[in-house]
Every structure is written in C-alpha cells, then in structure tokens.
Homo-oligomer: A and B are copies of this chain.
C-alpha cells in the first residue's frame, strides 16, 4: 500500500510545495533549502501511496563524526498521521546508517512540541540533560540562536 524509497534531489519541488501546508500554515521552507536534498539524499527517504507523497525523512551521517547520524526533518501528510509512518521512516533510517557504521542518532525539537517529545521517547531516544527544566523537560536555551530553545535527543543503537 505504501511505497518507501530513497529520496531524490528531483523530489524537492513536490516536498517543498506541501511543507507549509503540512505544518498547518507555519513558514517551514527556510529550514529546508535544496542543499539537504542535493547532498543528503543517500540517507533520506520518501514514502508514497499510489504516487502521492505521504511522508519523508531528511537525515545524514555527520561528516565531522562518522559514527553519528542526524535527522533534520520529518513530515507526514495530515491525512496519514497516527498510523506509524514516521516511526517506520525512523526505523529504516536507523537500519541504513547503522549498516554504514553509525552508533548514535541525534535530532531535536521545540520545547512546545510535546507530541514530538513523546514520539522520540517511545522510539528509544534519550533527552540530553540540561540545568534548565520546563515542566520537567530539559531545555537547551538559545541552542539555535537567541530565543531558539531546543530539546535535544540522542539514541544509541545496538
């Protein structure tokens, strides 16, 4: 029913055209310039149903640390949420990067995104500790610049 394949640079217009829509109108396209498709497509994934884009994951193996992978962006079509598609993409990414020698996967989210924090915890990600806590969640203040606090995740793979 769902087809999972490696992302291609030519998928860029299709993904970018739905991005803000899938995020409920938020302006997200700045976070995903084409360089991510051009240079990281070998570890990134597209999920389709009858040729229609339903989910994607953009991630890469760190050039600075070859045992570490990073998941930058994951999106699921609003009509296909709560079916485990994102979890499936993550698991496939873990397979791809662990076969290439990665031991660790990192990603991050906004402190307000409690659903994302629960999702990553279920997948076995640990929250990286911080002295700053918000309702019990460790927050890394100004991580992505002034006012851009983040929750940081890390998962050690078996």
Q: Which residues of A contact B (CB under 8 A)?
A: 13, 16-17, 29-35, 38-43, 60-65, 68, 70, 72, 142-146, 148
Contact = CB atoms under 8 A, between A and B. Distances in A.
Contacts of A34: 143-145
A61 B60 CA distance: 12
| Copies of this chain in the oligomer | 2
Contacts of A43: 63
A3 to B, nearest CB: 21
A64 to B, nearest CB: 4
A39 B65 contact: yes
A70 B35 CA distance: 9
A16 B34 CA distance: 22
Given A29-B145, A31-B30, A34-B144, A39 B16 contact: no
